[in-house]
Chain A
Amino acid sequence: MTRIDAKFADLAAKGQKAFVAYVMAGDPNYDTSLQIVKGLPDAGVDIIELGLPFTDPMADGSTIQLAGQRALEGGMTLDQTLQIARELRKEDDTTPIVMMGYYNPIYSRGVDTFLAQAKEAGIDGLIIVDLPPEEDDELCIPAQNAGLNFIRLATPTTDEKRLPKVLQNTSGFVYYVSVTGTTGAAAAQAADVAPEVARIKASTDLPVIVGFGVRDPQTAEDIAGVADGTVVGSAIVEKIGKGEAVADVLAFVKTLADGAHRA
């Protein structure tokens, strides 16, 4: 049982929906980013998605893309991204950390080396956007063998025929991308999302978390209400990008978490 499995068991016992927050590691710099990450659990974040900066984030909108550029310009690396996880683990051993990013920095490091380092740093799961089920041998299977969850995205284009393939080697939870598009795209409507979540839940026992287009506490509540939880990324990253103080960023995160937890 990973920290992710334990967290969902705990939330289920409390009858609570999960609130997942995304931040880019090293945005706007290592120290500020570490402070924000360390503050997330107290702001009500159940699972942390830690973005691994990449020069070519093809599935992300401009908000996340710029966050990655800021991080890279500040000298952020894969090692330092892992170090943020390590630092959080010194004071928090229950909040799951899911690393989210693209395959090349991991492939460049070497899959086995990376998995050992990620596990040791306290990473619990991976969301690697450019690894569909067709490429499961690359990282998904080795990650599961190393005891890390591999969380897959299901999308509006994932039809009935394809869904079993997408779910097959997924673990931890399923991330349902509520709209076609990049991160930070137009908001999803809870009424449209509900049947899609039901469709996925009919085929898996895993929790289904919905993201893309959730930007405010009310939407977080509405979307979490029709799923097992919700993710907010771009709206938080936008505040960081504007240079808002750590306390203000975390206060905003808390309003989102409260929204999701009201559901």
Chain B
Amino acid sequence: MPEDLINSFMTGPDEKGRFGDFGGRFVSETLMPLILELEEQYEHAKTDDAFWAEMHDLWTHYVGRPSPLYFAERLTEHLGGAKIYLKRDELNHTGAHKINNVLGQIILARRMGKTRIIAETGAGQHGVATATVCAKFGLKCVVYMGAHDVERQAPNVFRMKLLGAEVIPVTSGRGTLKDAMNDALRDWVTNVRDTFYCIGTVAGPHPYPAMVRDFQAIIGKEAKEQMQAAEGRLPDTIIAAIGGGSNAMGLFFPFLDDKEVNIIGVEAGGKGVNAKMEHCASLTGGRPGVLHGNRTYLLQDDDGQILEGYSISAGLDYPGIGPEHSWLNDIGRAQYVSITDKEALEAFQLCCTTEGIIPALEPSHALAHVMKIAPELPADHIICMNMCGRGDKDIFTVARHLGFDMTGPEGRNVE
């Protein structure tokens, strides 16, 4: 459908859980009644003032919202073009945007009388957020995490354990986020009565993509108001990194109908978007398929077998993307680009030294794209980028890539 024929981009999904042709409910019969019940509960909660009052109270006093909108002055000067603002969601409790959504789902789970929460995690940020909120409410928490990710995100594994969660390393497949999601679904299909599956991104069967988006949309709502206060207008460009795409959807959604705002999603280009598939850029390098309950762009071979993506960032290492992003891509409302590991590492370092902010590797991808476009844009062009997570969890990975050995007592540069 041509863009100018659509009155609003904010009405989706339809009653079948579709954004255009994407989304849907591709799950086994055992899970079907569960997701229908969840949809009913969520539809009710969505218009329930008491639900949102509880959310806002926790967002304010537990998470620390609103997160600041920060003018990155030295970064702006350094790049010498557009004016760059960072939406500081890395300052949230637990260090990323993930907790925005987890709170919503856990409040729902409590309303539904569920006592056991399961989650999948890649970088560990969603796992930590889920373990945190479960601890706060005294709920049992089981987190599935790819064995490969357990290894490269050791600090977050320990955090989850400190918070009382059980972390189950997943060895099937290549042991990354996709495989963790498979095992979480297997757990759910087995423990249907008492268990709530808290999905960390805007993917999965309906209503998850819409529900997670609605919980994350607080990012974009705040950014919009804060930008009005700071500049008296909307930003010209908004940018966010995308694995499954929850931080991006959260920032983008409130701006979808502001057609003058450019929207850019940044996928993980790994070692480069090429035939070897050493990347996680589902939109740039994949095609539509069905996985984990929804139809969306996927990395897959000619026979419809799902490929393992690759990225330096565990949080972006997923062969799919939220269905709403697939739709926004196809109708042209948002633009999707990819950034390589190398570019993300450069952005990571620049952010540390120019702004005193150690970013997570995920938003470092978004920042790398900002570095590409900002110098070419005029000084009155405003960019708002979502700094969706902090980099404490990534310093070991980054150290390894920069040739810095952190195993010794003082740490030493091996180069």
Residues of A in contact with B (beta carbons under 8 Å apart): 53-59, 61-62, 65, 72, 77-78, 102-109, 129-135, 152-159, 162, 166, 177, 180-182, 185
Which chain A residue has the least Cβ–Cβ distance from B308? A55
Contact: A61 with B32, CB < 8 Å? Answer: no
Contact: A162 with B292, CB < 8 Å? Answer: no
Using known A-B contacts A104-B290, A134-B16, A157-B192, determine if residue A162 contacts B32 with beta carbons closer than 8 Å.
yes
Among listed B102-110, B158-166, B298-306, interface-contacting one? B298-306
Using known A-B contacts A58-B186, A182-B186, determine if residue A105 contacts B303 with beta carbons closer than 8 Å.
yes
Shortest CB-to-CB span from B14 to chain A, Å, is 12
Q: Does B173 contact A (CB under 8 A)?
A: yes
Shortest CB-to-CB span from B208 to chain A, Å, is 14
Contact: B305 with A185, CB < 8 Å? Answer: no
Using known A-B contacts A107-B304, A130-B28, A132-B25, determine if residue A61 contacts B186 with beta carbons closer than 8 Å.
yes
Contact: A180 with B172, CB < 8 Å? Answer: no
Contact: B300 with A159, CB < 8 Å? Answer: no
Shortest CB-to-CB span from A166 to chain B, Å, is 7
Q: Does B13 contact A (CB under 8 A)?
A: no
User: How many angstroms from the CA of A107 to the CA of B172 in the assembled complex?
Assistant: 24
5 contacts between A and B (CB under 8 A): A77-B303, A78-B303, A106-B304, A108-B303, A135-B24
On chain A, the residues within 8 Å of B185 by CB distance are 58-59
Q: Give the number of residues in B that approach A within 8 Å (Cβ atoms).
A: 35
On chain A, the residues within 8 Å of B32 by CB distance are 132-134, 157, 162
Using known A-B contacts A72-B305, A108-B304, determine if residue A56 contacts B27 with beta carbons closer than 8 Å.
no
Q: Does B34 contact A (CB under 8 A)?
A: yes
Shortest CB-to-CB span from B176 to chain A, Å, is 12
User: How many angstroms from the CA of A177 to the CA of B29 in the assembled complex?
Assistant: 10
Query: Of B30, B182, B302, which contacts A177 at CB under 8 A?
Result: B30
Contact: B29 with A158, CB < 8 Å? Answer: yes
Which chain B residue has the least Cβ–Cβ distance from A185? B190
On chain A, the residues within 8 Å of B28 by CB distance are 58-59, 129-130, 132, 153, 155
Shortest CB-to-CB span from B142 to chain A, Å, is 15
Contact: B192 with A180, CB < 8 Å? Answer: yes
User: How many angstroms from the CA of A22 to the CA of B183 in the assembled complex?
Assistant: 22
Shortest CB-to-CB span from B329 to chain A, Å, is 19
Q: Interface of chain A, helix or strand or loop or mixed?
A: loop
User: How many angstroms from the CA of A104 to the CA of B189 in the assembled complex?
Assistant: 20
User: How many angstroms from the CA of A242 to the CA of B255 in the assembled complex?
Assistant: 56
B30, B34, B173, B293: most-surrounded residue (chain A CB, <10 A) = B30
Contact: A157 with B291, CB < 8 Å? Answer: no
Which chain B residue has the least Cβ–Cβ distance from A108? B304
Q: Does B213 contact A (CB under 8 A)?
A: no
Query: Of B30, B192, B304, which contacts A78 at CB under 8 A?
Result: B304
On chain B, the residues within 8 Å of A109 by CB distance are 304
Contact: B304 with A56, CB < 8 Å? Answer: no
Query: Of B26, B189, B302, which contacts A131 at CB under 8 A?
Result: B26
On chain B, the residues within 8 Å of A105 by CB distance are 303-305
On chain A, the residues within 8 Å of B27 by CB distance are 130, 132
Contact: B290 with A130, CB < 8 Å? Answer: yes
Q: Which 8 A/B pairs are nearest by Cβ-Cβ distance?
A: A108-B304, A105-B304, A181-B190, A155-B30, A59-B28, A130-B26, A55-B306, A104-B304
On chain B, the residues within 8 Å of A132 by CB distance are 25-29, 32
User: How many angstroms from the CA of A234 to the CA of B302 in the assembled complex?
Assistant: 28
A65, A134, A177: most-surrounded residue (chain B CB, <10 A) = A134
Contact: A157 with B34, CB < 8 Å? Answer: yes
Contact: B29 with A155, CB < 8 Å? Answer: yes
Contact: A62 with B172, CB < 8 Å? Answer: yes
Contact: B182 with A107, CB < 8 Å? Answer: no
On chain A, the residues within 8 Å of B30 by CB distance are 59, 153, 155-157, 177, 180
Shortest CB-to-CB span from B36 to chain A, Å, is 8
User: How many angstroms from the CA of A102 to the CA of B305 in the assembled complex?
Assistant: 10
Query: Of B290, B295, B305, which contacts A55 at CB under 8 A?
Result: B305
On chain B, the residues within 8 Å of A133 by CB distance are 32
Shortest CB-to-CB span from B16 to chain A, Å, is 7
User: How many angstroms from the CA of A131 to the CA of B290 in the assembled complex?
Assistant: 10
> Could you mark each residue 170-194 of chain B with 1 if its beta carbon is under 8 Å from any beta carbon of chain A, else 0?
0011000010001001100111100
Shortest CB-to-CB span from B407 to chain A, Å, is 34
User: How many angstroms from the CA of A104 to the CA of B26 in the assembled complex?
Assistant: 10
Contact: B292 with A58, CB < 8 Å? Answer: yes
Contact: A107 with B290, CB < 8 Å? Answer: yes
Q: Does B285 contact A (CB under 8 A)?
A: no
